[in-house]
């Protein structure tokens, strides 16, 4: 059973860089899936940040594209998020997720079937 676990600092200073890592266990990041980041400000809805394939191909939310970099480390079976020039508006619970619904035999669809538990990041001095 694939599991995802986010890790990284819970507090980032304004104008600094938010860096998070999502460790994939129970499966390979080189499987035929894309891997995404999403976030949820306190009391608000979900926002997609971007996705990456094990080849390194990426897609980003146009509203965040200038500040976001998502990368993959196949040797460590993990992928990472960097968000630069953060402000209080970037305070949120950050989730990583697998794209695609996978049964024991195959994957299909484009929903996010497995999510990490989420990690709260606060931007404050």
- Give, as one character, the DSSP assignment of residue 4: E
CB of 117 to other proteins, least distance (A): 6
Among 1, 10, 42, 45, binds other proteins (CB under 8 A): 45
36 and 49 Cβ atoms separated by less than 8 Å: yes
Using CB under 8 A as the binding rule, whether residue 28 contacts other proteins is answered as: no
8 and 120 Cβ atoms separated by less than 8 Å: no
Q: What is the largest CA-CA distance in the chain?
A: 48
Among 15, 71, 117, 122, binds other proteins (CB under 8 A): 117
Site for other proteins in 46-105 (CB under 8 A): 46-48, 50-51, 59-63, 95, 101, 103
Number of residues that bind other proteins (CB under 8 A): 26
Residue 83 backbone dihedrals phi, psi, to 5 degrees: -130, 120
């Amino acid at each position: 059973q694939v599991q995802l676990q986010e890790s990284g600092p819970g507090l980032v200073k304004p104008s600094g860089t938010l860096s998070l890592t999502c460790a994939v266990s129970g499966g390979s990041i080189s499987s035929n899936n894309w891997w995404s980041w999403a976030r949820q400000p306190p009391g608000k809805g979900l926002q997609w940040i971007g996705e990456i394939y094990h080849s390194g191909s990426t897609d980003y939310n146009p509203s965040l594209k200038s500040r976001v970099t998502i990368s993959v480390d196949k040797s460590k079976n993990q992928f990472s998020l960097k968000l630069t020039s953060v402000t209080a508006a970037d305070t949120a619970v950050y989730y990583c997720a697998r794209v695609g619904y996978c049964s024991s035999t195959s994957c299909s669809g484009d929903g996010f079937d497995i999510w990490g538990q989420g990690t709260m990041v606060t931007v404050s001095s």
